[in-house]
Amino acid sequence: MTSTARIASVRARQILDSRGRPTVEADVTLDNGSFGRACAPSGASRGIYEACELRDGDPAHYDGLGVKKAVANVNEKLASAIRGQSVLDQEAIDTIMRDTDGTASLERIGANAVLAVSMAVACAAAEHERVPLYRHLANLASTVPSMPMPMTNILSGGAHAGRGMDLQDFLMIPVGAKSYSEALEMISHVRLSSTRLMKDRGLTTLLADEGGLSPGFGRAEEAMELMVQSFESAGLRPGDDAAIALDVAASELFEDRSYRLAGEGKTFSGAEMADFIFDLARRYPVVSIEDPLDQDDWDNWRRFASVLPNCQIVGDDLFVTNVERIRMGIEKEAANAALIKLNQNGTVSGTIDATATAKAAGFAAVVSARSGETEDTFIADLSVALGAGQIKIGSVRSSERLAKYNRLLRIEEDGVLPFAGVSGIYGHSVAEAV
């Protein structure tokens, strides 16, 4: 191509996400007319070590949740900083933006501002190269693309559902699926089965932020039983065809050095919390557990991981897609998998580095959406590009989730990408895990 593929203009605006809250959308246009657009997601259950999301704090404007400052930072600072840069040098552009901010957590310009631009740059580069986004990202990361195994919310509590249940999410992994499209169909069957079972029992079928059903059970065991019943009602064998993943989000339960589970009516020490979650994993077909303990409870994380060596132990708040936090977890043997969230890191290249650090240590990687999403499908391409093996989007409900599931169906049509299946799950032998 004769074009220099340099950035000609950058423009941002405030739009609304799936919770009706403002977020940043950025457009990047190149000197040859190629164009990229991307939107920053936002989380409800956030780790304290995440990159900083900049909000206006003006109560007269979206109850203080506006992002006009972040938008202005794109239009007035980042645009001039990266104008004229080659769109093909993602790392250099991301470095310029980080340097322009000048803080480790991107608190001045805002990680939501920086990330929206970083993603839009990658989208513009893919259009310039006339390749699918996942191909461009795989070239950036020097990875081999594959179709991911979906990990999908069926029942939800915690910060995603007004604390209706102590544990945040009860998810399904279709471990018996032989393709992505088969996995998605199995998930849909289980989601429908759960809805029918709940209606038959007179339970509420209200939806949580990510589309999971929110029955408001007091005890986690009740949710686990419903998960197993939903598998069986859908004609699937628990453990062989469908398995359970838990997102405990334990940092949300941690207060005054104790874990307070209101629904259970119990207060646990770190060791007792670990035993409580271990007992659930022992009695049900659980193959993955996310954030079973607080983000700073390193000793109990290590103990927990040693008790369940063949189960996937995922660090989310623990690692926050941060290379240094992941390295600490590797050194302390605190987990064996990392959740990968773009907005925790703040840039595309930083997210690629975090994923590479985890995978180099033999950790599994799970590319994840946030509770506040848009119709942007970037993470679908990212999960494929990085060969992450797993993706966590949310339930098969609501357009901001389905846009990503459907994008993966279109990518699968290429017909040349292998399906990760259970191989992407750490300790993927279900029999051993349970």
Mean pLDDT for the stretch of residues 312-316: 97
Do residues 111 and 342 lie in contact, with contact meaning Cβ atoms separated by under 8 Å? no
**How would you class 301 by CB atoms within 10 Å of its CB: exposed for 0-12, middle for 13-18, buried for 19 or more?**
buried
Q: Copy the structure tokens of residue 86.
A: 């080659």
Q: For residue 428, what pLDDT is reported?
A: 60
Is 16's pLDDT higher than 80?
A: yes
Q: Which residues contact 165 (CB under 8 A, 6 or more apart)?
A: 155, 156, 157, 158, 214, 215, 216, 217, 218, 220, 223, 263
Q: Copy the structure tokens of residue 57.
A: 């704090």
Is 50's pLDDT higher than 60?
A: yes
Nearest alpha-carbon partner for 210 in 150, 161, 149: 161
Give every strand in the sheet of 22-30, ordered side by side: 7-16, 22-30, 35-39
Measured distance CA(7)–CA(88) in Å, rounded: 10
Distances (CA, A) of 25 to 53, 83, 124, 392: 14, 18, 14, 22
Do residues 359 and 424 lie in contact, with contact meaning Cβ atoms separated by under 8 Å? no
Least confident of 194-208, 227-241, 347-361, 393-407: 194-208
**341 is known as an active-site residue:** yes
Options 341, 373, 400, 404, the catalytic residue: 341
Nearest alpha-carbon partner for 49 in 368, 321, 371: 321
Q: Which residues contact 334 (CB under 8 A, 6 or more apart)?
A: 298, 301, 302, 305, 313, 315, 318, 328
**How would you class 139 by CB atoms within 10 Å of its CB: exposed for 0-12, middle for 13-18, buried for 19 or more?**
middle
Mean pLDDT for the stretch of residues 24-44: 96
**Band (430; pLDDT cuts 50, 70, 90):** very low
pTM of the full structure: 0.95
Residues 119-144: tens digit of each pLDDT: 999 999 999 999 999 999 999 999 99
Give every strand in the sheet of 286-290, ordered side by side: 149-150, 389-392, 364-368, 337-340, 312-315, 286-290, 243-247, 169-173, 152-156
Give every strand in the sheet of 266-268, ordered side by side: 254-255, 258-261, 266-268
Nearest alpha-carbon partner for 66 in 77, 48, 54, 74: 54
Options 50, 210, 252, 400, the catalytic residue: 210
Q: For residue 108, what pLDDT is reported?
A: 97
Q: Copy the structure tokens of residue 124.
A: 């513009």
Mean pLDDT for the stretch of residues 198-202: 94
Is 43's pLDDT higher than 90?
A: no
> Which helix H or strand E contains 352, and what residues bound it?
helix 348-360
Do residues 128 and 378 lie in contact, with contact meaning Cβ atoms separated by under 8 Å? no
Residues 151-186: tens digit of each pLDDT: 999 999 876 445 568 999 999 999 999 999 999 999
Do residues 156 and 170 lie in contact, with contact meaning Cβ atoms separated by under 8 Å? yes
Q: For residue 369, what pLDDT is reported?
A: 96
Mean pLDDT for the stretch of residues 359-372: 96
Is 431's pLDDT higher than 50?
A: no
CATH class for the domain made up of 7-130: alpha beta
Measured distance CA(197)–CA(205) in Å, rounded: 10
Measured distance CA(425)–CA(53) in Å, rounded: 30
Residues 286-311: tens digit of each pLDDT: 999 999 999 999 999 999 999 988 89
**How would you class 266 by CB atoms within 10 Å of its CB: exposed for 0-12, middle for 13-18, buried for 19 or more?**
middle
Mean pLDDT for the stretch of residues 335-360: 98
Residues 387-410: tens digit of each pLDDT: 999 999 999 999 999 999 999 999
- The domain ranges of the chain are 7-130, 149-433
Say which CATH architecture domain 149-433 belongs to: Alpha-Beta Barrel (3.20)
Residues 2-14: tens digit of each pLDDT: 457 999 999 999 9
Q: For residue 433, what pLDDT is reported?
A: 41
From first CA to last CA, the distance across the chain in angstroms is 54
Mean pLDDT for the stretch of residues 310-336: 97
Is 434's pLDDT higher than 50?
A: no
Q: For residue 299, what pLDDT is reported?
A: 95
Cα dihedral 355, 360, 366, 368, rounded to 10, equals -10
Is the C-alpha dihedral spanning 356, 358, 362, 367 positive or negative? negative
